[in-house]
Amino acid sequence: MTKNKIALAACSGMSPNGLITRVVADDTVKESDNIISICMGATSADKEGFRGLIKKYPIIAINGCDGECVNKILAPRGVKPKTTINVLEVLKEENLQASDVSRLDEEGEKCVWAVKKKLKLEIE
């Protein structure tokens, strides 16, 4: 995919789209040695090990909705994502909708696929 490391900062909200963002990030990290994920809970809590990590690599923010919590957590820490993906917008464009906060059904898997397709375009 890419030669330089990229960090994914995914929404961790307890919504269907939050689940989609987490699965997309996890799948993508498993598929590439050059991609890591950032724990937004630890970042939000200002955990020591994450202060430098969020500034070390370019970040792609994957927000579950228009609230853009990922960007709002990173901004006060002086981090502007390289790019931002809004899962809600991607799913609207694809006429898809996730429905469960903790389990992926067939529609949820289609949602993951659509967002991964968008993410891969941003990574390349």
User: Apex CA 95: angle with CA 123 and CA 72, to 5°?
Assistant: 50
The model's confidence at residue 18, banded by pLDDT at 50, 70 and 90, is very high
b (16+ CB within 10 A) / e for 23-55: bbbeebbeeeeebbbbebebbbeeeeebeebbe
The widest CA-to-CA distance across the chain, in whole angstroms, is 40
Domain boundaries 6-123, CATH class? alpha beta
Q: Rounded CA gap, 101 and 34, in Å?
A: 28
Is the pLDDT at 47 greater than 60? The verdict is: yes
Is pTM beyond 0.85? Reply is yes
Q: Please name every residue paired with 85 in a beta bridge, in sequence order, or none if there are none.
A: 62
Domain boundaries in the chain?
A: 6-123
pLDDT per position as a tens digit, 50-91 = 888 999 999 999 999 999 999 999 999 999 999 999 999 999
pLDDT(1) > 50: no
Q: How far apart are CA 86 and CA 45, in angstroms?
A: 23
Query: In the predicted model, is pLDDT for residue 29 greater than 90?
Result: yes
Residues in the chain: 124
Order of strands, sheet of 6-10, starting from the edge strand that comes earlier in the sequence: 35-38, 6-10, 59-63, 83-86
